[in-house]
Structure 1
Amino acid sequence: MKSNISKAQIAVIMTCFNRRNTTLDCLRALQQQTVDFDIYLTDDGSSDGTTNAISAEFPQVTILQGNGNLFWVGGMRLAFAAAIKNSYDYYLWLNDDTFLETDTLDRLLKIQFDLTEQEHQNSIVVGTTQDPISAKPTYGGAVKSKKWYSNKFEFLEPTQVTQQCDAMFGNCVLIPHSVVAKVGNIDAAFVHSLGDLDYGLRARNHGCSIWIAPGYVGTCSKNSIRNSWADTNLPLQQRLRKILQIKGFPLKPWTTFCSRHSGPFWLIYWLLPYIRAIIGYKNLAASPTFAEEIPQQN
């Protein structure tokens, strides 16, 4: 097992925008891993010297330049495409505000190898993060609600064993080449959010499986709803403007996601976030998908 891990060719996929110190701290934590890897990182037009700082401290990182309009999905898609051309054995999606424990990559690889031995060859392994202050879980995998009327994906907390799930956030995700061969890259239909959830759901449609690693793999703070479309302290008109923006629920990507994954009654689920923006985030108990949480990406 150890020899197989040491021989694995791994590409870490990242994107960043104007949070130089956070990105550098993420890379420093990443460098403490016990296995070798290459890093492909998109700098989506940062103006704070991110590219120069990374190049100076981590000259081995392959940096791709964006124009400032790629956002999370576009940036990850660009870096992922560059790595895929070199046919790695594994690809690790890593958010640049996620700080990994030193043995995370080793653990994820071992889980993936174990799953393959159990005849789950095409398996995505998701790592769960926790808040660095409260220690509460923040991002990871999710399962579809068992309620017949709900299309919600509910967060699944990690346990001491590997658990199968239905969807995932892209903070820390290990994807083998066999899955990439079936699913390809992140869909360009999405811009900022939803692309990670869509990728996992498409992978399952191709016969792949998604698993949550035991325990936590590192830390990542959860995004606040303050000043977002879900902030009921903002005037209604402002909330409605924000929910249609790229970091909310822009019409075209959200329509694509719902029509693709929400069944014959997808229009009902499509409407719900806009209703939530009108009547208030805390006043509507049900949400259509796990994606309705405030997106974690840059």
Structure 2
Amino acid sequence: MIHIVIPVFNRKHFTKACLESLQRQTDQSFKVIIVDDGSTDGTADMLKEEFPEVEVLFGDGNLFWTASVNMGIKHALASGTDYVMTMNNDVDVAPDFIENTYKWARQKPNAVIGALEMDADTREPIFGGEIIDFKLNKVRHLLQELPKEKQVGIHRVSQLPGRGLLIPRAVFEKVGLFDQERFPHYVADYDFTHTAARGGFELYCNYDAKLYTYPEESGERKNRISKSLNNFYKHLFDIKGGGNLRDFTRFTLKNCPKPYVPYYLVNGYARRIFGYIVK
């Protein structure tokens, strides 16, 4: 059984669309846990009235992504789940998403498996896993390397985001939960997959399990569209800043091989500072 953990804060229209896509699944062998961290837009009432099958946990508005996800994971593990899947509320999933998730989970029962991310508007693939090179501070995007005919099945990667991320129970039992102390909002998912890999668990992206996202709705994308000194500061230092230097530093010190740390930090700082200005 898979327990899907979805943290939410307002934006109930996204949550509703996400849950409706899960209701259309060809395989209904899953349960959904929503962690509502203080929504004020009627999310709780909508869930109670329209999705009574969904378990809802409540936060006080100060959990952010990582603590919200950990709350849901703890609940799922206590319920005896075999797998936890983390998912954001601003995604829809293809009707065979769960079916194709189980298909590869049966073949790789101890692997951490991510999903193929599609643009919800164009229906074109936009993310299919990454392979990081700490030595050169480069990230290879697997989707850009694979010819169209090979964009099926599972492919080995070195890091994954938390959107549609399937995690076996055994991973939590060995490496623990997401690191909410170091990474309260962003980077926790990438850090967790690196931690799992060091713990001996393989990472794959499942090109048969498609989810649809809205790139223009991300806080970082909106920040870049409306550039200002204030938004530049938020980009680098706010807890929800996509270029948060604190999170990047902590991620590097925890996951980068020590010989490569100085170059990786300097190069990464430059990319986050000047990348915001020129892009």
TM-score by length of 2: 0.86
Q: 1:125 to 1:242 in 2, by over 3 A?
A: closer
CA RMSD, 1 decimal = 2.3
Distance 1:32 1:238 in 2: 39
- Amino acid aligned to 1:262: C
Task: Tell me the residue number matched to 1:239.
Answer: 232
Task: Tell me the residue number matched to 1:195.
Answer: 188
Q: CA deviation at 1:29?
A: 0.7
Q: CA deviation at 1:14?
A: 0.7
Deviation per CA, 1:129-172: give whole Å up to 9, x if none.
21022233234421124xx7423333222712321111001111
Task: Tell me the residue number matched to 1:269.
Answer: 264
Tell whether 2:203 aligns with 1:214.
no
Match of 1:138 among 126, 137, 148: 126
Task: Tell me the residue number matched to 2:5.
Answer: 13
Task: Tell me the residue number matched to 2:62.
Answer: 69
Distance 2:33 2:192 in 1: 19
Deviates more, 1:217-226 or 1:183-192: 217-226
Tell whether 2:250 aligns with 1:256.
yes
Distance 1:220 1:226 in 2: 13
Q: CA deviation at 1:207?
A: 0.4
Distance 1:267 1:190 in 2: 21
- Amino acid aligned to 2:256: S
Distance 1:88 1:198 in 2: 23
Q: CA deviation at 1:24?
A: 0.8
Q: 1:216 to 1:134 in 2, by over 3 A?
A: farther
Match of 1:126 among 114, 125, 134: 114
Q: Is the 8 A contact 1:43 1:64 kept in 2?
A: yes
Task: Tell me the residue number matched to 2:172.
Answer: 180
Match of 1:204 among 179, 197, 212: 197
Q: CA deviation at 1:255?
A: 2.5
Q: 1:280 to 1:252 in 2, by over 3 A?
A: closer
Distance 1:70 1:270 in 2: 28
Match of 2:137 among 151, 158, 171: 151
* Structure with more of its chain in strand, by fraction: 2
Deviation per CA, 1:88-130: give whole Å up to 9, x if none.
11111111111111111111111111224xxxxx201111121
Q: CA deviation at 1:80?
A: 1.2
Tell whether 2:24 aligns with 1:32.
yes
Tell whether 2:267 aligns with 1:279.
no
Match of 2:162 among 170, 174, 182: 170
TM-score by length of 1: 0.81
Tell whether 2:79 aligns with 1:86.
yes
Q: CA deviation at 1:11?
A: 0.8
- Amino acid aligned to 2:172: V
Distance 2:229 2:11 in 1: 30
Task: Tell me the residue number matched to 2:41.
Answer: 48
- Amino acid aligned to 1:169: P
Structure 2, unmatched stretches of 5+, are: none
Distance 2:221 2:130 in 1: 24
- Give the count of matched residue pairs: 267
Q: Secondary structure at the match of 2:35?
A: strand
- Amino acid aligned to 2:82: D
- Amino acid aligned to 1:217: K
Q: Is the 8 A contact 2:236 2:273 kept in 1?
A: no
Q: Is the 8 A contact 2:130 2:140 kept in 1?
A: yes
Structure 1, unmatched stretches of 5+, are: 1-8, 117-121, 285-298
Q: 1:45 to 1:115 in 2, by over 3 A?
A: same
Q: Is the 8 A contact 1:126 1:213 kept in 2?
A: yes
Q: 1:267 to 1:81 in 2, by over 3 A?
A: farther
Q: Secondary structure at the match of 1:128?
A: strand
Match of 1:100 among 93, 101, 104: 93
Deviation per CA, 1:182-241: give whole Å up to 9, x if none.
22211112111111101110000000001111345121122465442x55x624464134
Q: Secondary structure at the match of 1:213?
A: strand
